[in-house]
Amino acid sequence: MEVYFERAIANVVRHGDTDIFPFPIENHVFFDCKDKAVALLKDMHGSFAHWMANYPPAHETAISPVGYTGFRWATQLDPLWNLYFLALVLSIADAIEARRIPSSETNVFSYRYKWDQENCTMYDPTSNWRTFMEASLRRAESSKYVIACDISEFYSRLGHHRLDNALAHLELQNDVPWRIKEFLSNYSNTNSFGLPVGGPAARLLSELVLDQVDQLLKLESIPFCRFSDDFHLFAESTEDAFAKLLFLTDKLQRTQGLQLQKAKTRIMSSAEFVATSPIRLDDHDAPAVDPTKIGLQEKARSLLRFSLRFDPYSPTAEEDYERLKTEIEKHDIIGLLQSELSKSRIHVALARKIVATIRYLSPQQRDEATLSIIHNSDLLFPIFASVMNVIKQLFLELSNATQEIVIERILFLIQSGSHIFRVELNLAYAIRVLAYMPSPKVQETLARLYNSPSYTPLIRRDIILAMARWRAWPWLSDRRPSFRSMSQAERRAFIIASFKLKDEGKHWRSHLKGEFSPFEKLIQDWTASKSGQPDWNVPL
């Protein structure tokens, strides 16, 4: 298993544990203490029942916005247990991929396993949502009708018994399926359904479960394309379309206990499907056009097609970054942003892409764009977490005046009880921006938030770390007696923060170190090694 522990650590350190939550500070520990983290994982594997009984996973859940009024539950898995869960899935990933319909048949495009050692990625980058849409458009051109549908509440409704059955059919000669089952039972509080949203391990397991439906569609010679929970079926008449839709509905219910979303299920002509597609083959295949010489609408479509992928670990990272900046300058980002902010509702994908490009703009444009997005927080509610994340990344590059306006705006929204920060995920990202400005007003606001019973350990953990960054020892010292009643996430954060309490923290750790879990001892050792470095501060 050691190779899979190393792969899990490499993947999480490089790409994060989820695409929903802020990265936990433990990722820094895994990066700096890889060998010690592997040793912990090996001990977990050898003493699985002991760890599950004495150091069980402690996950954090939060509501994640989907549009303006829709929400879904998301989970940030316990950092160490997330590594173990991912390693278990990586150890059987080849067997799962071999079981699925081959990618060469261009039916299933989601999460095709292909480990890339150089980039530490799990999935084939050439098989993605765009290639799924392109294949669907090609098939639509040779069909008369298209059925577009997706599964309702897929991850939260996916049954563990169905997953157990699918794992059993892999005929593995080990107990990995049992370990996965035990982990998921803990995750779902012993409910027999539900996978965590946002992480790579759950994605591959969900694909294994849906493979049965894929195979049944193939056996019936029903032409289809699928990406995750989205299906496109192709038919020659309305009667044929209804028959195929009924077949899919029946198989999802009977084999998996899943249902299609009624509001999103449509039978349409191929012409309508092509006309309303988010992408078009003629756009993709057309000769490259200079974005500086086209209209705003075409610039928006050009930006959506443009890849912002940048690898800071590449040996040519500096040249790649400058090349990316040059290309972005051609897209009139400020014009696109102003156009989007003039609407009553944003185009979520386009707005997220525009916001992501702000960090590559010139200093003056960067400030201008930052002020625009922070003053349009209500309009940008569906992507506000992305807004905060981008502002955090470029905060130190903003002018002092812009920094102060950003902080004041965030504080106003918090203190006025804005609905934006009733979503904890948004608040979690905002706290990481506030951590750059240790003013008395910011400290007072975070202290009040910490004491509020409304907030979960997700928020309190980051407040402890922010206070540690500021060396706010009076507040940290006051929290010390409540250590034993803290959540696991808060405990790890406070162990890190205790190094800002100087002798008080040293004596406290000496007194309580016998109560620390093996993971907490690793956190202590990591912080001890870092705190001796003169320029080091708590990362957040």
More confident residue, 313 or 344: 344
Give the tens place of pLDDT for each residue, 23-59.
Answer: 999 999 999 999 999 999 999 999 999 999 999 999 9
Query: Would you give the DSSP letter of residue 19?
Result: S
Reported pTM:
0.90
Give the tens place of pLDDT for each residue, 411-432.
Answer: 999 999 999 999 999 999 999 9
Q: Is the pLDDT of residue 318 over 90?
A: no
Which of 99-103's residues contact partners 24+ apart within 8 Å by CB, and which partners? Answer: 99/169, 99/170, 99/208, 99/211, 100/207, 100/208, 100/211, 100/214, 101/211, 101/214, 101/215, 101/218, 103/127
d(CA 156, CA 246): 23
Helix (H, G, I), strand (E, B) or coil at 487: coil
Q: How many C-beta atoms surround the C-beta of residue 38 within 10 A?
A: 20
Predicted pLDDT of residue 316: 64
504 Rama sector, left if φ>0, alpha if ψ -120 to 50, beta otherwise: alpha
Query: Would you give the DSSP letter of residue 252?
Result: I
Banded pLDDT at 305 (limits 50, 70, 90): low
Do the strands 145-150 and 60-66 form a parallel or antiparallel pair, or are they unpaired? unpaired
Amino acid symbol at 407: I
Q: Is the pLDDT of residue 358 over 70?
A: yes
Span 397-405, average pLDDT: 96
d(CA 433, CA 453): 22
d(CA 227, CA 51): 36
Q: Is the pLDDT of residue 512 over 50?
A: yes
- What radius of gyration, in Å, describes the C-alpha atoms of the chain? 25
String of DSSP letters for 158-187: -BHHHHHHHHHTT--SSSHHHHHHHHHHHH
